[in-house]
Chain A
Amino acid sequence: MFYREAGDYKTSYPEDSQTFPIKFDRIRYYAVLAVAFGIIPFFINDYWANAVFVPFLIYAIAAIGLNILVGYCGQVSLGTGGFMAVGAYAVYKLMTAFPEVSILIHVLLAGGITAGVGVIFGLPSLRIKGFYLAVATLAAQFFLVWLFNKVPWFYNYSASGQISAPERDILGVIITGPNTTAAAKYLFCALILLALAWLARNLTRGSVGRKWMAIRDMDIAAEIIGVNPLTAKLSAFAISSFFIGVAGALFFAVYLGAAEVGESFGIQKSFLILFMVIIGGLGSIFGSLAGAAFLVLLPVFLKNVLVGMLGWPTDLAAHIELLIIGGLIIVFLIAEPHGIAQLWRLAKEKLRLWPFPH
């Protein structure tokens, strides 16, 4: 009925190759943007910002980054937490060293520094793959966390070994520090997510993304048809790490405000983001968002039900949460190895034929 290509005439090449070729999708996309930027900022309060929206936006950025590496280029990485830590410490050093420069530039520069580190740890991917590469990235995870713990220069010789974000603003609106309003945090993260998601979407459907996917599907064949594995893999590592570094910078500067590396960027974080990518759907930008939303909302939901409604002790609720997340991952992998994104695709297929299924 309303969801199909027929009748939606394209009269130019750019129109023909647009991201959302179906009119309904375009309207939905603008509607989501309108809600995200026109409605939520006016109603958001501290609880919703800190428990749901800001973590979701930041994890979504990290998940898109990891999805580029794992889902599009096929290189498994367990070092996400370590790379987020690089972003966080980079932005901290930049913020304290150059207080007069805009925080936005610092966040982007932190992403750039993380991209450099990511390329270095991505070098082994030129020789090894699969689980072997996963273990190589574990080396990055543990080494980086240790480095930020042990070298006092990174945390400016503070006595507690913690880093805490000083107050910075953009055009007079405070973005970091304890006096930030919920709406400012939300809008800052949402704008960066929008820009990066747009970038990722266009990268992955362009020639760079196709090279990544060729490498993922069969590296030898890709090499034969003229894809350079060196540049394809390292560019995937660089861009993925850029996203993850930006996410780490935001996670520290905007969301946490103060961070201790082992606690905030440990191996658990790597797994959490990997799960977001898997549950959301490998090789899908929408999937990264869906996976992040799912794994941010699930603990909040479970906590509200178990602790808030049933009155169970919090530690028990935390264990049951582990149990449920583990179970859900297995169920998801068995029922739909391609994640929420695949369910979404199936729904769209159905909708395209509706109301005449044949």
Chain B
Amino acid sequence: MPDTFFYATEVMLNGLMAGVMYSLVALGFVLIFKASGIFNYAQGVLALFAALTLVGLQDGQIPFSHVINAIFGTDLHNFGWTLPAVVAIALTAVVMVGMAILIERYILKHLVNQEPIILFMATIGLAYFLEGLGDVMWGSDIKKLDVGLPQGISETIETATYNWFGYGFFIDKLDIVAALVAAALVIALTLFSQYTKYGRALRAVADDHQAALSVGISLRFIWVLVWSIAGFVALVAGIMWGSKSGVQFSLSLIALKALPVLMLGGFTSIPGAIVGGLIIGMGEKLFEFSIGPMIGGATENWFAYVLALLFLVFRPQGLFGEKIIERV
């Protein structure tokens, strides 16, 4: 077998792994869209905020230290302790739940029955707000996130594939972990929504708001629940993406990449979010590898959107979505 074939396969595998990251963000989108019909633009920023909070807690940073220093002329930075990764993750999860409660109480409650576009705008506002809040709380410098996940190229796979095919595949250990975590997350979410009381309530709300209300399900509680879960998914995405490329603003831009993922997978399908993410991740890497050099490279910026655009014309509901798109 020629080396280019193996190289293409490797590119494809790495694309799949990048796709897992998109899927993680898209998952949060789908959860919120199903339960409340809100198209949550802030999902990517939630991931950024979660990652920032996690790093901040882990390093014992003092929240708002920059503001305090600016106002009082002090020079505070750290409490002087570091928390173990598990504790910090648990605390961040608590923060995300608190955030969900605040979002429901101060934003969503007041916007019930508004048009979807207004709610969408509100989440864009929320995204700006959280981005500013994260930066003001924890500072905007690029931070290193290390929660003890394995890093670097997996030598085992490299030697094994070298022995089998005569070509060593370079695959990041972190990507493998991310794929496993994503799989675990999807299984956990599926089990939760199929077999627990609250999971069923969640699905009921997703099916029909009014019917759910009439059998006694509290919409407000469900919204807090679903935003908490989305916050948790954002935390996972933030950990994965942050360990890979550091916690920085570009993290919130993956939210935009998640949009074409949703177009492909359908807005209402959890498996769709995963498959869509994989297709986009793989597609953009392969396109960049095969066609990119001919037309100047950096095609990853737009490939996903153009693919989604083409998809929309032929199958507007996505691969797995419900057929609810109104044709014009």
Contact = CB atoms under 8 A, between A and B. Distances in A.
A136 interface: yes
A305 interface: no
B215 interface: no
Contacts of B312: 124, 127-128, 132, 135-136
Interface in B31-71: 39, 66-67, 70-71
Given A319-B136, A330-B125, A146 B301 contact: yes
Given A135-B260, A322-B128, A312 B70 contact: yes
B117 A124 contact: no
Contact of B328 (A76, A127, A322): A127
Contacts of A76: 117
Given A129-B328, A323-B136, A138 B126 contact: no
A332 B67 CA distance: 26
Interface string A108-149: 000000000000000011111111100110110111011001
A219 interface: yes
Given A135-B260, A326-B129, A127 B70 contact: no
A206 to B, nearest CB: 24
B327 A127 contact: yes
Tell me whether chain A's interface is mostly helix, strand or loop, or mixed. Answer: helix
A271 B41 CA distance: 12
Nearest to A223: B328
A143 B125 contact: no
A313 B67 CA distance: 10
A324 B136 CA distance: 11
Interface residues of B, number: 52
B302 A316 contact: no
A319 B107 CA distance: 21
A334 B110 contact: yes
A329 B107 contact: no
Contacts of B147: none
B76 interface: no
Interface in A206-237: 219, 229
Contacts of B130: 326
A173 B121 CA distance: 42
A315 interface: yes
Contact of B120 (A128, A131, A139, A321): A131
Interface string A43-62: 00000000000000000000
Nearest to A334: B110
B306 interface: yes
Given A150-B295, A319-B135, A326-B125, A126 B328 contact: yes
B4 to A, nearest CB: 24
A327 interface: yes
Interface string B96-116: 000000000001001100101
A305 B115 CA distance: 36
Nearest to A131: B39
Nearest to A278: B121
A275 B120 CA distance: 12
Given A135-B305, A319-B135, A333 B260 contact: no
A275 B260 CA distance: 22
Nearest to B259: A135
Contacts of A41: none
Given A124-B309, A127-B316, A146-B301, A316 B132 contact: no
Contact of B299 (A126, A146, A271, A316): A146
B131 A326 contact: yes
Interface in B243-286: 256, 259-260, 262-263, 267
17 contacts: A128-B325, A136-B305, A138-B260, A143-B305, A146-B302, A267-B256, A311-B70, A315-B140, A323-B128, A323-B129, A323-B133, A324-B132, A326-B126, A327-B125, A329-B121, A333-B114, A333-B118
Interface of A: 76, 124-132, 135-136, 138-139, 141-143, 145-146, 149-151, 219, 229, 267, 271, 274-275, 278, 310-313, 315-316, 319-330, 333-334, 337
What 10 A-B pairs are tightest by C-beta distance, nearest first?
A326-B129, A323-B132, A326-B128, A329-B125, A322-B132, A139-B305, A150-B296, A142-B302, A319-B135, A330-B125
